[in-house]
């Protein structure tokens, strides 16, 4: 009778503290104490471990909804065999999330269809599973959001949305040429995240030398790249589009000339940029 009252009191206290998973699991854990001869410390660790796991799962699901990923594809699902130029060891090191702790940007460069977005999404999923908050947007969607926010005089709010998450993903940079106000806003986003040492993942179909085609002038291009590349890892991917490969298998397009396949692509590389940005 006394033990029953003590259990009820414990459940009430757990509920008061908001430990609802622990409250619901209390009886089972106490039964495990009897069956498995657990110590008090072991029983407490198991009970609180259940609560911590449930809270982590809720955080992950909430952050997943906030991130706005276009799909969920893991790094393990990426076909590394189809892109031999991509160093698997590089991706394994990135998947440890050390770049998050160090505030290092990760940039994937390569032609369309080689899986840059898949890699960005896979790394983002790893970050979310580790408890980080992330936000995903394409460059064209960011331009749309910028124009809408500018009309409503809410650019400060949009900048805050892009600056706050632990990780920002900018996908498909290079397909949309930016006008000066849009380029200035992109610079502000990268600059404020640089100052706060918050990393971003960026994908682009253009090499650094061609970013002048995206931004309105060379001065803005140099200043933006200065901050973007100061703490960064650049991964260049050469190879054929997955979609083109599938079409070729189906006989919808002709086979490539082996001597021309892969021409005009950059060799896979990892580049660290240690130089300080200009002021």
Instruction: For 11-54, write each residue's pLDDT tens digit.
Output: 899 999 999 998 989 989 988 888 888 898 999 999 999 999 99
Q: For residue 234, give the 3-state DSSP assignment.
A: strand
**pLDDT-based confidence at residue 200 (cuts at 50, 70, 90):** very high
Q: Count H helices and E strands in the chain, helices first.
A: 11, 6
17 lies in the same domain as 77? no
Residues 106 and 219 both lie in one domain: yes
**Rounded distance between C-alpha atoms, residue 170 and residue 191, angstroms:** 14
Give residue 261's pLDDT. Answer: 40
Rounded to 10 deg, the angle between the 180-195 and 155-163 helix axes is 40
| Spatial contact of 214 and 177, defined as CB atoms under 8 Å apart | yes
93 domain-assigned: yes
**Distance of alpha carbon 197 from alpha carbon 230, whole angstroms:** 11
Q: What is the pLDDT of residue 264?
A: 39
Q: How confident is the model at residue 238, as a pLDDT?
A: 86
Last residue of a domain, one of 15, 50, 65: 65
Kindly state whether residues 12 and 31 are assigned to the same domain. Answer: yes
84/157 same-domain check = yes
Question: Is residue 277 included in any domain, yes or no?
Answer: no
pTM comes to: 0.79
d(CA 173, CA 228): 13
Q: Which two tokens stand for residue 63?
A: 């952050």
Higher pLDDT, 11 or 173: 173
Nearest to 68 by CA among 120, 107, 104, 106: 120
92 domain residue, yes or no: yes
Checking if the pLDDT of 252 tops 70, the result is no
Pair 60, 188 in one domain: no
102, pLDDT greater than 80:
yes
The answer to whether residue 278 is domain-embedded is no
In a domain, 153, yes or no: yes
Q: 233 in a domain, yes or no?
A: yes
- Residue matched to tokens 């089972």: 28
Q: Clarify whether residues 133 and 41 are in a common domain.
A: no
Q: Do 25 and 139 sit in the same domain of this protein? A: no
Residues 163 and 216 in one domain: yes
Rama region for 172: left / alpha / beta (φ>0; ψ in -120 to 50; rest) = left
In the listed set 15, 45, 65, which residue is the last one of a domain according to the structure?
Answer: 65
Q: What is the mean pLDDT of residues 80-91?
A: 89
* pLDDT, tens only, 223-232: 999 999 999 9
201 and 95 co-located in one domain? yes
221 in the same domain as 94? yes
Q: Cα–Cα distances in Å, from 90 out to 18, 117, 265, 271?
A: 42, 16, 19, 11
Domain count, the chain: 2
> Which domain CATH number covers 87?
3.40.50.300
Q: Do 43 and 75 sit in the same domain of this protein? A: no
Q: Residues 187, 264: one domain?
A: yes
Q: For the ranges 79-83, 111-115, 182-186, which has the lowest average pLDDT? A: 79-83
Mean pLDDT of 184-201: 97
Per the prediction, the chain carries an average pLDDT of 87
The answer as to whether 137 is a domain residue is: yes
Task: Name the residue range of residue 50's domain.
Answer: 2-65
Is 279 inside any structural domain? no
């Amino acid at each position: 009778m006394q033990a029953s009252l003590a259990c009820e009191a414990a459940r009430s206290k757990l509920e008061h503290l908001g430990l609802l998973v622990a409250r619901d699991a209390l009886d089972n854990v106490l039964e495990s104490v009897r069956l498995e001869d657990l110590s008090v410390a072991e029983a407490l660790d198991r009970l609180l471990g259940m609560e911590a796991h449930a809270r982590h799962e809720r955080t992950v699901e909430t952050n997943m909804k906030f991130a706005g990923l276009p799909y969920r594809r893991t790094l393990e699902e990426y076909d590394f065999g189809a892109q031999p130029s991509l160093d698997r060891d590089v991706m394994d090191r990135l998947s440890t999330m050390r770049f998050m702790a160090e505030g290092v940007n990760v940039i994937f460069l390569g032609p369309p269809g080689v899986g840059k977005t898949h890699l960005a999404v896979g790394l983002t999923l790893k970050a979310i599973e580790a408890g980080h908050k992330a936000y995903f947007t394409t460059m064209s969607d960011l331009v749309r959001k910028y124009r809408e926010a500018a009309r409503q005089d809410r650019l400060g709010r949009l900048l805050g949305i892009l600056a706050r998450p632990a990780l920002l993903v900018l996908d498909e940079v290079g397909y949309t040429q930016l006008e000066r106000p849009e380029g200035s806003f992109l610079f502000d986003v990268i600059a404020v995240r640089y100052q706060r040492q918050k990393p971003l993942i960026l994908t682009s179909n253009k090499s650094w030398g061609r970013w002048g085609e995206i931004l309105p002038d060379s001065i803005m291009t140099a200043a933006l790249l200065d901050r973007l590349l100061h703490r960064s890892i650049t991964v260049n991917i050469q190879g054929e589009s997955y979609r083109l490969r599938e079409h070729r298998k189906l006989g919808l397009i002709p086979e490539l000339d082996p001597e021309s396949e892969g021409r005009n692509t950059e060799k896979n590389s990892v580049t660290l940029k240690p130089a300080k940005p200009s002021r």
